[in-house]
Amino acid sequence: GAGVSQSPRYKVAKRGQDVALRCDPISGHVSLFWYQQALGQGPEFLTYFQNEAQLDKSGLPSDRFFAERPEGSVSTLKIQRTQQEDSAVYLCASSGRQGVIGGYTFGSGTRLTVV
Amino acid sequence: GNSVTQMEGPVTLSEEAFLTINCTYTATGYPSLFWYVQYPGEGLQLLLKATKADDKGSNKGFEATYRKETTSFHLEKGSVQVSDSAVYFCALSATGGQNFVFGPGTRLSVLP
């Protein structure tokens, strides 16, 4: 597609519920990234894929967070047993072969509210 | 570790005023530096970048110069417009890195 698409746009979850957030990157982009943006803060890195390989997951805050990209295109970020501190906007970005220097294309994000 | 510090907002200016948003960084090696902008309801967009010391990035009338001696990358624009109202994020990418470290963002409001 023309841009990075994320769904749902908004998600309200009850504490303890599992959620799955979807990212459709730009077609052909090999690199895909997930960031977490708390209210009033800058985005913080969660994890990075190159094709289907998860090369860096150092930013995932706990083992309740899990990301996958099984066919090297669409990615899903799953959060198990959601907690209130998980409330944030989750951003997905993709980049082509130029990598970070070429700049990422960010999606509009999924706003997760845990109640 | 690597980090980015930005001036606190919100910044409120009148149209055609001069804009400066300060950004300083801490990083080992030679990071690349970026400014991203987030308009209301939209995703982050790359505004400009600089990949080595003394480089100047520019776009849409905005400029920033990579100053290694002061570890800074301040954003400037000579004459802001109402349409520049947004949140501006300074970011770095470490040498050989693939991800960004973002500052906390500075909200700019431009009044007509």
pLDDT tens-digit map of A60-108: 999 999 999 999 999 999 999 999 999 999 999 998 877 777 778 999 9
Q: Is the peptide bond before A25 cis (omega within 30 degrees of 0)?
A: no
The string of DSSP codes covering A7-59 is: E-SEEEE-TT--EEEEEE--TT--EEEEEEE-TTS--EEEEEEETTEEEE-TT
Furthest-apart CA atoms within chain A: distance in Å = 40
> What is the distance, to the nearest Å, from the Cα of residue B44 to the centroid of all Cα atoms in its chain?
12
Give contacts of B 35-74 with A, CB under 8 A.
36, 41-46, 49, 51
Q: What is the pLDDT of residue B9?
A: 85
Q: Tell me the percentage of chain A whose pLDDT exceeds 90.
A: 84
Interchain contact, A100 vs B51, CB within 8 Å: no
Chosen for mutation from B93, B99, B100, B101 (greatest number of chain A CBs closer than 10 Å) is B99
Across-strand partners of B65? Answer: B56
pLDDT tier at B94, thresholds 50, 70, 90: confident
Tokens 């570890």 belong to which residue? B71
pLDDT at A1: 53
Residues B13-46 as b or e (16 or more Cβ within 10 Å = b): beeeeebebbbbbebeeebbbbbbbbeeeebbbb
Q: How far is CA B49 from CA A38, B4, B66, in A?
A: 24, 15, 9
d(CA B61, CA B53): 21
Nearest CA in chain A to B50: A101
How does residue B47 score in pLDDT terms, banded at 50, 70 and 90? very high
Find chain A residues with C-beta within 8 A of B32's C-beta.
Answer: 100-101
CB contact under 8 A, B97 and A100: yes
Higher pLDDT, B53 or B41: B53
Confirm or reject contact between B88 and chain A (CB < 8 A).
no
